[in-house]
C-alpha cells in the first residue's frame, strides 16, 4: 500500500493510502488483543473505508491505480477491519484464516501491479 501511496501524483491521494497502511498495521496488530471489545476504533474504521479506493475527496480525481489494484485494496481493508472482531470468537482459528486471506489479497494486488508494469 505504501508503494501505491508513493506512486500518486496527488499528495492527498498519497496521504489517504498512507493512513490506510497505518490503519491496517494497527487493526491487524494491537487492535487484536484478547479480552478486547472486538470493535475497531473509529479513526481506523474511517481510514479503512471507501476513501482508500476513491482517494482524497477534494481532488476531484481518483487515485492512480492499475486494474486489479482497487479490488485488492478493498479486500485488504475489509480483512484488516474484521480482525479485531476475532477476539469475540475463536481468536486463533479466525485470525489465522483472516491473516492468510490478507496475505492472498496483498499478493493479488502485487500481481496486478506487476502485470501493469509488464504491459507498460
pLDDT digits (tens, 9 = 90+) for 45-94: 889 998 889 999 889 999 999 999 999 999 999 999 998 888 788 888 99
Helices of type H across the chain: 2-7, 11-27, 42-47, 51-54, 69-82, 91-119
Q: Residue 35: what pLDDT?
A: 67
State the greatest distance between any 2 C-alpha atoms of the chain, in Å, as a whole number.
49
Q: What is the mean pLDDT of residues 28-47?
A: 78
Band (pLDDT 50/70/90 cuts) for residue 11 is: very high
What are the DSSP calls for 7-20, one per residue?
Answer: H-SSHHHHHHHHHH
Q: In whole angstroms, what is the distance from residue 48 CA to residue 75 CA?
A: 10
Q: How many domains does the chain have?
A: 1
Q: What is the C-alpha separation between 48 and 76, in angstroms, rounded?
A: 9
Number of Cβ within 10 Å of residue 69's Cβ equals 23
Say if residues 78 and 36 touch (Cβ distance below 8 Å): no
The grid coordinates of residue 32 equal 487484536
Q: With contact defined as beta carbons under 8 Å apart, do 53 and 102 qualify?
A: no
Amino acid at each position: 500500500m505504501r508503494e501505491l501511496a508513493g506512486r500518486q501524483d496527488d499528495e492527498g491521494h498519497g496521504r489517504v493510502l498512507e493512513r490506510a497502511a497505518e490503519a491496517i498495521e494497527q487493526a491487524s496488530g494491537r487492535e487484536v488483543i484478547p479480552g478486547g471489545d472486538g470493535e475497531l476504533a473509529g479513526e481506523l474504521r474511517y481510514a479503512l473505508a471507501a476513501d482508500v479506493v476513491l482517494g482524497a475527496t477534494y481532488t476531484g480525481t481518483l487515485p492512480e491505480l492499475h486494474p486489479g489494484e482497487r479490488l485488492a485494496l478493498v479486500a485488504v481493508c475489509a480483512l484488516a477491519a474484521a480482525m479485531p472482531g476475532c477476539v469475540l470468537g475463536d481468536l486463533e482459528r479466525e485470525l489465522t484464516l483472516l491473516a492468510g486471506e490478507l496475505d492472498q489479497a496483498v499478493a493479488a494486488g502485487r500481481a496486478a501491479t506487476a502485470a501493469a508494469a509488464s504491459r507498460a
